[in-house]
Structure 1
Amino acid sequence: MKLKRLMTAGVALLAFCQSAYSLTTLDSVAVKVNDGVILTSEVDALVNRVTNRSKESGQELPSETALRRQAIDKLIDQTLLLQMAERIGLRISDAQLDQTLTQMAGEQGATLDDMRRSLEASGDNFQTYREEIRNEMIASRTMRASVERRVYVSLQEVQNLLRILEQQGQTNEEYNVGHILIEIPEGSTAEEIKAQKDRAEAVIRLLNEGREFRQIAIASSGGAKALEGGQLGWMNINEMPTLFAEAVKGHKKGDIVGPLRSGAGFHIVKLQDVRGVEVVEAVELKVRHILVKPSIIVSEEKARSMLAGFVTDLKAGTADFGELAKEHSEDPGSALNGGAYDWTDPNSWVGEFKETALGLEKGQISEPFRTQYGWHIMELMDRRISDKTELVKQNRAHQMIFNRRFKEESFTFQRELREQAYIEVIEE
């Protein structure tokens, strides 16, 4: 009996060891980053996602080696930002994550369930993808929170740019920019710098011969958007890094510019498209509302039915909206004013409030509706088209300067994070 128990224990131990060995062979550490690690499975997942996305769009990819190198670089940058987020306590809740995923699915004309089924049909794990998106959101918010503090734009700078834009007569021109960076490592010798310049010139020759830009960017670029095919998106010439802005003047759609030397390396820029910026007249609304907040005393249904009763009385002409607001509304910003707001751009309101306001005719009173603040009823008092041309120009000029500096500071900040970190790439 004792021998049988020993044999049984031995078989169990052997099975456990085999299982543990199987797990270690299935996954391993690809990179050490400070006190954390990037697993081979994480690299595989990112490579697979890029590969699947490229197949759907019919885009040709570089070699697997180049793709994995880019994936590792992206995950290193992301891991450093996630470690910083952990230190400052920045998190993304499940509700925030689901809202983002629903929005992503909606942009493709699908639902969240459609997204899940599509991912699973392509062999991806939805929960893994979900956590990847959460990490991307955390990393993005950490970057923005860290870099925004380093960017300052003065009123004088905005006014100076407005004068320049008027002199150029190019206030409405935007460029869709592709970017490839051939990096120069810290401490490079003159010979190594020349080799990188030769490599940049070779990349330009390939592009001029008709090679696909996104593929070359994924294979060769050291820029932050390498895995996205080097796509920087639409920007005005005044939003570009200064180096790019000076170089692209006089160029047209399809032109390839470079190599441009900076402290980071040699840059190659492609003007993929050009368009004019459309300025839309601003709609402003004047509304008044009554807010009732559900509580331990006032239930959701009681709050809704109370407001429904007000609507009935108002439509019957037996009550006055302003007096009801002063007596019952729990919005301290408007209650004393009879629930009324001054002329407001509806885009500044939360979604349900904005949608309700835009759906009303002048003088119409809404049925009770719910926002994150509680239950409301609303009356649209008036609507107008506001001429905000000058304000739009000022805001646009401020955003141009801010975007340019934010891009420059983001690159510097990410580089500083790397220089201060312990990074050991184990996967070769």
Structure 2
Amino acid sequence: MKIKLADRLSSLTLWALLLGAIMAATPVLAQVQPLDHIVAIVDNDVIMRSQLEQRLREVHNTIAQRSAEMPPEDVLRQQVMERLIIESLQLQIAERSGIRISDEELNDALETIAQRNNMSLAQFRQALIKDGLDPTEAREQIRREMIISRVRQHRINERIQVSEQEIRNFLASDLGKIQLSEEYHLANILIPIPEAADAAAIQAAERMARDTYQQSLQGVDFGRLAVARSASENALEGGDMGWRKAVQLPPPFDDLVSGMPVGGVTEPIRTPPGYILLKLLEKRGGENQVRDEVHVRHILIKPSEVRKEDEARQIIERLHGRIVAGENFAELASNFSEDPGSALNGGDLNWIDPDMLVPEFRRMMQSTPSGELSPPFRTPYGWHVLQVLGRRATNSTEDIRRQQAMNLLRSRRFDEELQTWLRQIRDEAYVDIKI
């Protein structure tokens, strides 16, 4: 690690010396521009001043578009620097784990983003330019965000275990009986408590949390407070958590949001990462629905530290070819699939609610006719090929309810595990901030 970093720093130094020599030997035809320089060393990576300044400009634009008041520049700069450090650590983990996003996957993601905004790709590109963003840099930022999302799915899901007893208890509980309950659009603020904090540090965090709560009651914009004070990874988005069901939130937040009016804010609550406040932005849903179910089977091949992305793709392509040539899908799934939950059943996922699946798998499943085989495709879990065996419309069955319970129990633990994991990798990293 140190050798690679030293090589990078040496290269930067050599480039500076070469540029200096060229400038000394060449007539000055234009004003000399300052060289980019390192503002932080993060394990085996560096953060450059240009990266920091570019991200600051993006954050300024985002806050301005929300018509929110800008926090102090030093506070904003510190928040952005921490965000870049955490991103760098996650991207390094992805590099070591062989996690990649292909151009094809990135193009599909950009197409989806454009469609959600009722635009063509060309219109989306023009919108980025109009907002002062470089489309090429925006494209690579989306790629980085997709890689980070995939890293989180891998690392956090393996930390979360849900037992059969927990599922039974959940289904028997009052919350478990409300499977199609209301959804809540939430924002949060996390006032952190350092590990091994003494009483004075805990009291200081509590005072800041109480002050933040009082300011929110007095009409100070919650998003602005999140940008200025929150240590949550979504702080720069105004603390926006997206849509959640009450059952996806850890106690006591699940009960609190159920009885809150839109616009309400919870009092600060002590959690392992620190004091948390939630604001309810919107509500929706709660009505009963008939669900479409799909009977599907699949084969999964995962990239890993010893198997690169291209190797995983080549394996799934060979398996796809063997199925097309007439080999038995179930036998190949039993022998090769790396999904332990379905491999022993010949890759069969049984009847499943599409909403329980990741978007990439759901889209491919929906576009594949019954009885047909899909082409190889990528999800956060790896490379797949699937076969749709049937479709039906049904009310919730016991199997669906159990799957929902599993997903909801995992989801309500995801955010807490994510914050714990992010703090862990930050604490274990070598970080040297130069400004």
TM-score (norm 2): 0.71
Does the 8 Å CA contact 2:265/2:279 hold for their aligned counterparts? yes
Counterpart amino acid of residue 133 in structure 1: I
The superposition leaves residues 168-194 of structure 1 with CA deviations (integer Å, 9 ceiling, x where unpaired) of 768513322211011223344423322
Counterpart amino acid of residue 14 in structure 1: A
Counterpart in the other structure of 2:87:
78
The superposition leaves residues 251-296 of structure 1 with CA deviations (integer Å, 9 ceiling, x where unpaired) of 4332221221233222112222333344532346899xxxxxxxxx
Aligned residues: 358
Indicate the percent of aligned positions where both proteins have the same amino acid.
Answer: 31
Counterpart in the other structure of 1:408:
416
In 2, Cα distance between equivalents of 1:332 and 1:283: 30
Indicate which of 173, 193, 209 corresponds to 1:184: 193
In 2, Cα distance between equivalents of 1:284 and 1:187: 49
Does the 8 Å CA contact 1:174/1:235 hold for their aligned counterparts? yes
Does the 8 Å CA contact 2:263/2:281 hold for their aligned counterparts? yes
Structure exhibiting the larger radius of gyration computed from Cα positions: 1
CA pair 389-210 structure 1, distance change in 2 beyond 3 A: farther
Counterpart amino acid of residue 255 in structure 1: G
Counterpart in the other structure of 1:129:
138
In 1, Cα distance between equivalents of 2:399 and 2:97: 36
Counterparts of 1:6-85 in structure 2, within 5 Å, are 12-14=22-24, 22=32, 25-85=34-94
Does the 8 Å CA contact 2:188/2:240 hold for their aligned counterparts? yes
Counterpart in the other structure of 1:280:
289
Alignment RMSD: 3.8
In 2, Cα distance between equivalents of 1:164 and 1:84: 39
Q: CA deviation at 1:109?
A: 0.7
In 2, Cα distance between equivalents of 1:164 and 1:416: 33
Does the 8 Å CA contact 2:179/2:401 hold for their aligned counterparts? no
Counterpart in the other structure of 2:265:
256
In 2, Cα distance between equivalents of 1:329 and 1:408: 44
Does the 8 Å CA contact 1:183/1:222 hold for their aligned counterparts? yes
Indicate which of 200, 203, 210 corresponds to 2:212: 203
Q: CA deviation at 1:223?
A: 0.7
The superposition leaves residues 275-320 of structure 1 with CA deviations (integer Å, 9 ceiling, x where unpaired) of 3344532346899xxxxxxxxxxxxxxxxxxxxxxxxxxxxxxxxx
Counterpart in the other structure of 1:399:
407
CA pair 346-406 structure 1, distance change in 2 beyond 3 A: closer
In 2, Cα distance between equivalents of 1:36 and 1:286: 45
Q: Does 1:372 align with 2:368?
A: no
Counterparts of 1:208-223 in structure 2, within 5 Å, are 208-223=217-232
Q: CA deviation at 1:140?
A: 1.3
Q: CA deviation at 1:30?
A: 2.0
In 1, Cα distance between equivalents of 2:153 and 2:86: 14
Counterpart amino acid of residue 432 in structure 2: E
Does the 8 Å CA contact 2:185/2:244 hold for their aligned counterparts? yes
In 1, Cα distance between equivalents of 2:389 and 2:430: 61
Counterpart amino acid of residue 375 in structure 2: Q
Counterpart in the other structure of 2:316:
none
Indicate which of 88, 97, 100 corresponds to 1:91: 100
TM-score (norm 1): 0.72
Counterpart in the other structure of 2:250:
241
In 2, Cα distance between equivalents of 1:410 and 1:111: 34
